Structure 1
């Protein structure tokens, strides 16, 4: 996300300065689905090509290359003018210290390390949720935030960087109850970038924990409002190569959902193996085009296969405003779970994590939208 600043500086000492930056993006579109939950749908929707949010970032120079920093970022739905998840700062809320030589330490509600280092070199970064895993089963589209967390990001050493995170469950008498932890690393050399990461999240008390785990479609176990008493672990690896105007990437992930109680059909670990590839080409300074393919295979109490294809084009009217169009197709075979995990049902086509799964094997979505960044 580019940040166009509304910035002011306040002298705090002879050697120190403070600054606060206002930034954000607004994304709105009109989408057509041939089938979502059993019906065709034409609707306006929010945040397809970029997240819709606004935020404040602040920095105070403490001397010797050390800075105090904070980020407050609020997600909202421009279609309804409503907050996301009924939280004022649902996207990020952190405070910490950053040092030129030793790295950055932040605390609060934030993305896990795989979102920071792995996701940016996958197809999701080209065109958002239409290019990601059905149901976002592996968090490739940033659908998980880690609450009550502490994260360390290293400086970049000759192209190499790593991050470590721990999320506190906050449960009295149970130091590991509801906790999360993760790590990721990336390496860049010229046009080549490699990245890998791991995330573990446990919701074992009242269906709650450091990570938010609910979903909205039938790809993952226990979607909708049903809480997961269990854990999720995700491993990801990705590679990207940029040569001239062409950017190409590939990725693989393995996600595992483990129930800590018997939900009926969802009575043992459900695994998702995901492979994806994407291409983006910069035709001229204003026009880009992207293609993607994602293959998803689930196994465990149910077994399903999803083949997803996406095409996207974006045209920049200025450095801050762009128009975009996306068409995506998903075809599913096999079985998945009912909403509460009590029964096995036929798997429906699911384009990314945009909407409810189709009641048939296939789903098609076409999107026209506009993004403005400030």
Structure 2
């Protein structure tokens, strides 16, 4: 009888523990076909490319996240998440967990504190104010991916929402002896940022200030290691969602004579025609300040990117998408419709002053 009673008590305790803890596997899978013209081929000419691509609408990824109820409105949390390229089966950047790998504590009253790798604060904050939600064609295009980075060695705080207001802060240590601002080779140096947001049923507002340093601890390139000031807004009017933003970048440690500032603007709208079908149109503009350029730095120039896209929901978790875009460069501009670094080993940029058209169609499944 004692043995039976003991087994029942242990089973009940085990069930209670399970009820207080949970681990969830999640992710999304994105694949399709892409077209791009006027790609500079390095021989004074340009080429056109058709390709099978994964992640054009959004990065394919999978992850594990969990929570344990600690009582009193507190919980322990973790998140492990990696990017996946479905066309060849590789994961992001050779890392097991390329996007997120953090552990933390969450409380209903004081907020959430976590430590580990995560999306950089502007990547976590800009997408919700981008009409194209940081697709391959999006607010990331004309800033060469500056606003979709990840950083390691983070300590991060998220406040609760109080009357529509919340604040988020992130601090990324360089972890290097002898140079507090430096980072390991191939990593960012000490970086940080703060984000203030306001949400209501009619509109949202967000402001961000951040500092993204190179591995030497310097602000050396407006689109890879710089200071950023961002302000954005969303307005919801019946079936329309209107989105606008402005960003200023500065890189005071750029080489002498090189452009060290840029201003980025956009305006767009999404029309939810039916519960299943939506159409989005937007214009993005970049202006690089006075100065020269080199293999990795853009010279004084400007460009306008026009984008039109649509999505159609097949179910609550699966949708089809299509996007077409056109970029018009100034005389010195080499901006692509895609967010490719100027010195990328797989470039998509056109020759200086040349326009470019890109398009993609595909399917996204979320699980």
TM beyond 0.5: yes
Name the SS for the 2:316 alignment partner. coil
- Flag structure 1 segments of 5+ consecutive residues without an equivalent: 1-9, 215-219, 222-227, 336-346
Tell me the residue number matched to 1:167. 172
Number of equivalent positions:
330
* Cα deviation code 1:150-189 (max 9, x no counterpart): 0000000010011011100011133333211100011012
Please state how far the C-alpha of 1:77 moved relative to its aligned partner.
0.6
Q: TM-score, normalised by structure 2?
A: 0.84
- Flag structure 2 segments of 5+ consecutive residues without an equivalent: 1-12, 41-45, 183-188, 292-298, 341-346
Tell me the residue number matched to 1:236. 230
C-alpha change, 1:27 and 1:204, in structure 2 (3 Å) is closer
Larger radius of gyration: 2
User: Does residue 1:308 correspond to 2:319, yes or no?
Assistant: no
Q: TM-score, normalised by structure 1?
A: 0.82
C-alpha change, 1:365 and 1:269, in structure 2 (3 Å) is closer
C-alpha change, 1:353 and 1:118, in structure 2 (3 Å) is closer
Tell me the residue number matched to 1:59. 67
User: Does residue 1:101 correspond to 2:101, yes or no?
Assistant: no
Structure with the largest fraction of strand? 1
Query: 2:324 & 2:79 partners in 1: Cα distance?
Result: 34
* Cα deviation code 1:305-326 (max 9, x no counterpart): 1100000011111111111111
Q: 19, 22, 33: which one pairs with 2:22?
A: 19
Query: 1:32 & 1:15 partners in 2: Cα distance?
Result: 49
Name the SS for the 1:202 alignment partner. coil
Q: 26, 29, 33: which one pairs with 1:30?
A: 33
Tell me the residue number matched to 2:91. 83
C-alpha change, 1:243 and 1:135, in structure 2 (3 Å) is closer
Q: Is the 8 A contact 2:118 2:154 kept in 1?
A: yes
Tell me the residue number matched to 1:286. 276
RMSD: 2.4
Name the SS for the 2:58 alignment partner. coil
Query: 1:272 & 1:158 partners in 2: Cα distance?
Result: 34
Query: 2:32 & 2:145 partners in 1: Cα distance?
Result: 25
Please state how far the C-alpha of 1:13 moved relative to its aligned partner.
5.8
User: Does residue 1:43 correspond to 2:51, yes or no?
Assistant: yes
